[in-house]
């Protein structure tokens, strides 16, 4: 099995044996800087050779009976199958199409991540592009890799035709975006998976522009720049975005939704009168028109929202009262509340009024009236807390709202 390549590998092993026992702590800062930079170059050159070796080894699968050479490598080296398959795909791309990238990686002028994004960008170019222009695009991105990392190179790769062929760049970009939009449209999905613990996983794939719009809406609610430090800010960003998503859905205007069964799309909550009139924290259950069972405390909170239609049942399940949005906080009254309270009134919370919910200081089931000075604004987080039996709520004379945990 002697071969110059195997002899080189043996020499590399021997060289690394010399590093055993060497403690980098005793190197100077300058020496460690030089070693790290040189290590990156050595790693890139090793990666280039490994990819070249992988691209030339299709016959290993035939000899061993493995499904593919990548599968054999993954089993033999105990590596992740997906990672090896991606390496094999990159190896084929560099070997068959992108020789300049391969050479730059072999020389240590690129790292593996840079080579991958350049190859992806070149593969995304129009199939009918002139080979000479492909060569220019390849050379341009390899040159830019001397200054930019993978993220920046990916952006440059999307617009590489503007640099090497500006006369056709607009049309090519239009066709690329059109194809991407069609792919995104055909791949759009949304799944609900109830977990059985009171929560549901929502998994979706949507076009980028829809995801960006949703992120913009949610970040408007969660951005630390919009708020002072408070309870909400202590939560992870993913949790804050989840809370914002709930608030967005709860505050969608019903009049903008399609009609179902001859009526506007809405969610109704059915609750017994005695339950509704009960004290905060008392046992009680309400049922929504979607078939969900919720606590009476949650039903009282939802009754504050114009997006929810409460049906209050009297004796023998006869409808005692059907609340209407206009009966709660009208548009004009809500506008007045927004002017009076530009932000959530909870202490140390500055969620903008547009993202808050109108709340009765005296619960309407306890005789509270829908008047300007009997209402206040709370963000969804604090509105939940106002209806949480574990918290006391105090409405201060200056218009703020304070919360203290019950003992």
pLDDT digits (tens, 9 = 90+) for 237-283: 788 888 888 877 766 665 655 544 333 335 555 666 565 556 555 66
Q: Which helix (H) or strand (E) holds 222?
A: helix 208-222
- Integer Cα distance of 202 and 345 in angstroms: 31
- Integer Cα distance of 242 and 251 in angstroms: 14
Closest CA to 99 of 46, 151, 51, 145: 51
Q: Taking the mean position of all CA atoms in its chain, how far away is CA 254? A: 27
- pTM for the predicted model, two decimal places: 0.55
Buried b or exposed e, range 317-344, using 16+ CB within 10 angstroms? eeeeeebebeebbeeebbeebbeebebb
Token duo for residue 247: 């608030």
Mean per-residue pLDDT for 14-39?
Answer: 93
Q: Which helix (H) or strand (E) holds 29?
A: helix 29-55
Per residue in 98-120, pLDDT (tens digit) is: 999 999 999 999 999 999 999 99
Residue 197 has pLDDT above 60, yes or no: yes
3-12, 62-71, 155-164, 305-314: least confident range = 305-314
Q: Taking the mean position of all CA atoms in its chain, how far away is CA 139? A: 34
Per residue in 203-223, pLDDT (tens digit) is: 999 888 888 888 887 876 665
Strand partners of residue 269: 288, 310
Asked if residues 330 and 337 have their Cβ atoms less than 8 Å apart, the reply is no
């Amino acid at each position: 099995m002697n071969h110059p390549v195997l002899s080189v590998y043996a020499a590399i092993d021997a060289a690394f044996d010399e590093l055993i026992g060497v403690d980098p702590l005793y190197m100077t800062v300058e020496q460690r800087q030089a070693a790290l930079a040189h290590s990156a170059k050595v790693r890139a050159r090793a990666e280039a050779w490994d990819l070249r070796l992988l691209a030339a080894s299709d016959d290993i699968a035939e000899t061993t009976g493995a499904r593919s050479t990548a599968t054999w490598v993954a089993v033999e080296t105990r590596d992740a199958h997906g990672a090896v398959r991606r390496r094999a795909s990159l190896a084929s791309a560099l070997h068959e199409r992108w020789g300049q990238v391969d050479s730059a990686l072999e020389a240590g002028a690129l790292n593996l991540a840079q080579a991958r994004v350049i190859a992806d960008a070149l593969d995304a170019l129009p199939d009918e592009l002139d080979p000479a222009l492909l060569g220019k695009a390849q050379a341009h991105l390899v040159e830019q890799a001397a200054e930019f990392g993978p993220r920046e190179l990916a952006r440059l790769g999307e617009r590489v035709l503007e640099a090497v062929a500006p006369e056709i760049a607009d049309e090519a970009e239009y066709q690329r975006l059109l194809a991407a939009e069609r792919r995104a449209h055909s791949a759009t999905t949304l799944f609900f998976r109830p977990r059985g613990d009171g929560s549901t996983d929502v998994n979706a794939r949507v076009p980028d522009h829809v995801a960006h719009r949703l992120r913009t809406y949610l970040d408007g609610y969660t951005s630390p720049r919009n708020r002072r430090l408070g309870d909400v800010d202590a939560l992870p960003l993913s949790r804050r975005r989840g809370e914002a998503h709930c608030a967005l859905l709860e505050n969608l205007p019903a009049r903008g939704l399609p009609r179902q069964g001859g009526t506007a799309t809405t969610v109704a909550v059915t609750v017994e009168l005695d339950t509704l009139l009960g004290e905060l924290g008392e046992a009680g259950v309400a049922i929504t028109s979607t078939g969900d069972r919720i606590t009476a405390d949650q039903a009282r909170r939802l009754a504050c929202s114009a997006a929810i239609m409460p049906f209050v049942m009297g004796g023998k399940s006869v409808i005692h009262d059907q609340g209407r949005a206009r009966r709660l906080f009208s548009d004009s009254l809500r506008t007045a509340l927004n002017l009076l309270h530009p932000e959530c009134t909870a202490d140390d919370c500055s969620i903008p009024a547009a993202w808050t919910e109108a709340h009765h200081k005296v619960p309407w089931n306890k005789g509270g009236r829908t008047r300007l000075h009997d209402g206040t604004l709370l963000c969804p987080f604090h509105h939940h807390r106002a209806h949480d039996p574990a918290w006391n709520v105090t409405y201060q004379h200056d218009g703020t709202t304070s919360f203290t945990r019950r003992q």
